[in-house]
Copies of this chain bind each other. A is one copy, B any other.
Amino acid sequence: MPESATVIAIGPDPSAPRLLEKAVVGAGARVGALAEAEALIWTGQPGDFPTELPASVRWVQLPAAGIEDFFDAGVLRAHPGVEFTSAAGAFSHSVAEHALMLLLAGVRYLPEHLRATSWQQREFFPHVGSLRGKTVTIVGAGGIGRALIPMLAPLGAHVIAVNRSGRRVTGDGIPDSVETVPAEQLGRVWSHTDHVVVAAPATAQTRHLIGADELARLKPSSWVINVARGSLIDTAALVEALTGGVIGGAGLDVTEPEPLPDGHPLWTLPNAIITPHDSNPPQLRLAAFADHVGANVARFVDGRPLHAIVDTDRGY
């Protein structure tokens, strides 16, 4: 590595995780002291953030997807000439993979398979489905939705992406065939989708987005997957739909209430898969952050626009 390589500091811990160091070096920069650095990869809390940065520092990578704490602590305002990036999008991959797993397990009848202790091929045959040629509606086309679309494409599923604007969802690995529907027209989607993945933020508008009416318009074979927030689905209506065979099943990484209390019917319904909000476990987060850092350092070195630039006035 020539001495002239871009210097990136990692802080506050001087013995930075090796994974981050490797990401920086792999992207064509070198790790050095803050005093000589052009950028700072920050892994600590807002309270420990340096009150002053050397004039050489032009970019700070923050460690979280939501950086309200850094904004509220005044970190961004204290360094007006510096570009800040969050880790938005970095942690979407694992959650999208989890959503795909829940959907495939449901569609291919895995819960009943796991309960079986004898060879029931003929009994199971009619229940084993496929995503090929099926329509999957993803409600919310943020990081998780955009990571999920390329995973669904090779399975031959047709994807409807629902976002606020209705602006066409595009990007790496997102096929032209993806249909984008604005949230206000969500009502027309239910009756011609096969499955639904909920990946939208929890807001007043999205509370109980899926209730009895929406469930009734889905198919008896439809699976509903929620990897966003429990409040987006009306749990009582969902339990009723699952019990009555109105839909095929539900795969839920998030519930309302959360944690789901012992004895709740969702624990024992044969067509419900519950994972306790563990789609993005801690050990996967550092690896994902390192990938994000590597991609951003490569962009910084090349002078290309960074991923997940924070609007320092608005704080996200």
Q: Name A residues whose Cβ lies closer than 8 Å to a Cβ of B.
A: 93-94, 97-98, 100-101, 104-105, 108, 110-111, 113-114, 116-121, 124-126, 128-133, 150-151, 153-156, 173, 258-262, 267-268, 273-279, 281-284, 287-288, 291
Write 14 A-B pairs (CB below 8 A) sorted by A numbering: A93-B132, A97-B104, A98-B108, A100-B104, A104-B104, A108-B275, A114-B273, A117-B268, A119-B260, A119-B276, A121-B278, A124-B276, A126-B281, A153-B154
Nearest residue, chain B, Cβ from A259: B119
B117 touching A155, Cβ below 8 Å? no
A156, B291: Cα distance in complex, Å? 11
A154 / chain B contacts, CB cutoff of 8 Å: 150-151, 153-154, 173
Q: Are B110 and A287 in contact (CB under 8 A)?
A: no
A132, A259, A267, A279 — which one has the most chain B CB atoms within 10 A of its CB?
A132
Is B124 a contact of A278 with CB atoms below 8 Å?
A: yes
Residue of B with least CB distance to A124: B278
Contact A283 B113 (CB under 8 A): no
Q: Can you tell how many copies of this chain the complex includes? A: 2
| Cβ-defined contact, B108 with A101, below 8 A | yes
Bound-complex Cα distance A133 to B294 (A) = 14
Is there contact, CB below 8 Å, between B110 and A156?
no
Known contacts A113-B276, A121-B276; 14 further A-B pairs (Cβ under 8 A):
A93-B132, A97-B108, A101-B101, A110-B110, A113-B273, A113-B274, A114-B114, A116-B267, A116-B274, A116-B276, A125-B278, A126-B281, A128-B284, A154-B154
Name the residue on B nearest A98 (C-beta).
B108
B-chain residues with CB within 8 Å of residue A117 when the two chains form the complex? 262, 267-268
Which residues of B sit under 8 angstroms from A108, Cβ to Cβ? 97-98, 101, 275
State the CA gap A131–B300 with chains docked (Å): 28
By the criterion CB–CB under 8 Å, are A287 and B133 in contact? yes
Shortest distance from the beta carbon of A148 to any chain B beta carbon, whole Å? 9
A162 CB to nearest B CB, Å: 21
Contact A93 B281 (CB under 8 A): no
Bound-state CA distance A70–B132 (Å) is 29
In the complex, residue of chain B having the shortest beta-carbon distance to the beta carbon of A263 = B117
